[in-house]
Amino acid sequence: MNSSVTSISLSPDNTHAAISFDHSFHLYSLVSMKRVFQKDSLNYRINKCCVSEEGNMVALLSHPIIGIKSVYKVFVWGRLEDDFISELEFKEKIMNISISRDLLLVVMLNSICLCDITKGTQHHQIITADNPFGAGDIAESHNTMLIAVCGLQIGTLTVYECKKDSEPLTFRAHVHSVSAIKFSRDSSIIATAGEKGTLIRLFDSSTGGLLYVFRRGTLASRILSLAMAPSNSYLLAISESGTIHLFDSSIRKAENSEPQRAAIKHSVERDQHIIASVMLDDKFCMLTSSGHYFIFKKKGSSLEVESRVFLFAH
């Protein structure tokens, strides 16, 4: 079963988990620990899934098995009434999708597109540098939406304020390609990782000013997931080497000092897909493509597994 899992997703409020297989999609409630929604897709291969706040909407990135195979489609479903909401079609390869309220961020290899979900329309298509990792994020901020994506130059980041005519903010984040982008819960901070995964940086989302530099290690290992604590007091990063890193962001070090290393490190089993989200300042959850959902509790300088559930059994 594990080999057919194509993607995993957590809702922003940590109430739902989404898992897509080659030809089906499953949504689980993390409150009642049961499967609450499922869709099969015989004519399309599902490459990516994402779920909105409270698990109300599900977006599926699909690729046709027969017919015109150069077309990529995103289907959006409403879970509460099993209601098909919209279908969006693209001719450029899609690397990632992210959903928030009524907007869908579609990240392609050399561009991004912001879509209105309810109207099924595409707008704000923006050219970017090569983005093979599908780096990009969308977040709500002061009654508007912010999107952070790769800029026109390799290693740069551009932040746009949706539905406003303000000029976008562009700044350099890394020397190499950006592989991961994640807003903090309050959208005031943007965490980024480069393709080597050795350095992780935090930026002020309104100014582009560098706040922190963290060193994960010296050997290359791609960052699979980034998440900030609700109080922005620490950053959580999980690398493909199977290590959880917690970096202290409560005290800013001098800019010319050696990048801060992880205050806590914890080894987990390697998996193809791993995603994490911080629930409370001392607690976070992690979902893997093996179907296991963990809750970790931070105690001093160590982590403890508070619970472990095998979602496929529910």
The candidate with the shortest Cα–Cα distance to 108, out of 71, 134, 82, 140, is: 134
Average pLDDT over residues 80-104: 87
User: For position 2, what pLDDT does the model report?
Assistant: 40
Question: 245, 238 in Cβ contact below 8 A?
Answer: yes
Q: Give 64's pLDDT tier (boundaries 50, 70, 90).
A: confident
pLDDT digits (tens, 9 = 90+) for 227-274: 999 999 999 999 999 999 999 998 766 555 689 999 999 999 899 899
Question: 36, 55 in Cβ contact below 8 A?
Answer: yes
CATH topology of domain 1-94: Neuraminidase (2.120.10)
Length of the chain, in residues: 314
Average pLDDT over residues 179-197: 95
Average pLDDT over residues 202-208: 95
How far is 1 from 202, CA to CA, in rounded Å? 37
pLDDT digits (tens, 9 = 90+) for 115-152: 988 888 887 789 999 999 999 999 987 778 899 999 99
User: For position 272, what pLDDT does the model report?
Assistant: 87
- Where b means 16+ CB within 10 Å and e means fewer, 164-195 reads eeeeebebebbeebbbbbbbbbebbbbbbbbb
pTM: 0.93
The candidate with the shortest Cα–Cα distance to 95, out of 112, 118, 119, 114, is: 112
pLDDT digits (tens, 9 = 90+) for 11-61: 999 999 999 999 999 999 999 999 999 988 888 899 999 999 999 999 999
User: For position 123, what pLDDT does the model report?
Assistant: 79
Mean pLDDT of the chain, nearest integer: 91
Question: 159, 147 in Cβ contact below 8 A?
Answer: yes
User: For position 66, what pLDDT does the model report?
Assistant: 77
> Domain extents for the chain?
1-94
User: For position 81, what pLDDT does the model report?
Assistant: 64
